[in-house]
Structures are given as structure tokens and as C-alpha cells.
Amino acid sequence: MYLVVLILVSTVLFGIASFLFGRGESLPPLPRGTTATVLPSSGVTGEDVEAVKFTQVLRGYKTSEVDWVLDRLAAELDQLRAELHSARVAAGWAEASAGYRAGAHAAPADPDVG
């Protein structure tokens, strides 16, 4: 019985010491308000997103890092969608002007009317 209690107490003390003193990292903590999370300034790819790592804190991931990544991805998506919309509008204008020059500026026939 004495041996079981000794092992239990040792395990608890080891756990507390490991939690308090960390895993022996030699790097100092990052300054407050900075992050080790990295994304390129533009042209975010799937590989960039897969490579993102967040700092783990007591109750999960560091909220400021997750918020930063989500804001960056949202901005990138908005930019890409705006570029796609511009390209579609430009393509639509090009088709419309080509059709007008070819004399096909009349409304297309309705296939349901017969």
C-alpha cells in the first residue's frame, strides 16, 4: 500500500512540475501582441492554410491568432471574388460588343415559344 501511495504522489508532483515549468523549451515566449502564425501577404494557397499552426493555451488555441488567420482568409476570399466578378463582367462586355458588331444585337429567341 505504501508503494502505491508513493507512486501516486510522485506522479501528481511530476505532473504539477511539468505544467508549471513547461517541457524545457529554451526559447523565450513571444512578446505580447505578436504571433508565430504565418500567412503570405497575398496569394494564400491551400498549402499555406494547411501549414498554419496555432499556439495552444490552457483552454485550446490562442484566440487572437485564430481571429487573425480568419480575417486574412476572409480578405483573400473577398479579393478573389471581386477579381472573379470583374473578369466575368469584362467577359460579358466583350461578348456583348462582339455580338453587336456581328449584327446579332437582337434579343435571342425564346426556346419555349414555338
Provide the residue ranges of all domains of the chain, joining segments of one domain with +.
Answer: 40-103
In the prediction, which pLDDT does 26 show? 64
In the prediction, which pLDDT does 34 show? 59
In the prediction, which pLDDT does 11 show? 94
Q: Which residues contact 49 (CB under 8 A, 6 or more apart)?
A: 39, 73
Contact 55, 65 (CB under 8 A): yes
Give the Cα separation of 109 and 114 in Å (integer).
Answer: 10
pTM over 0.85: no
Give the Cα separation of 9 and 2 in Å (integer).
Answer: 11
In the prediction, which pLDDT does 40 show? 77
In the prediction, which pLDDT does 10 show? 95
In the prediction, which pLDDT does 114 show? 44
Residues of the chain with pLDDT under 70: 22-36, 99-114
Helix locations, the chain, DSSP H: 2-21, 46-50, 63-101
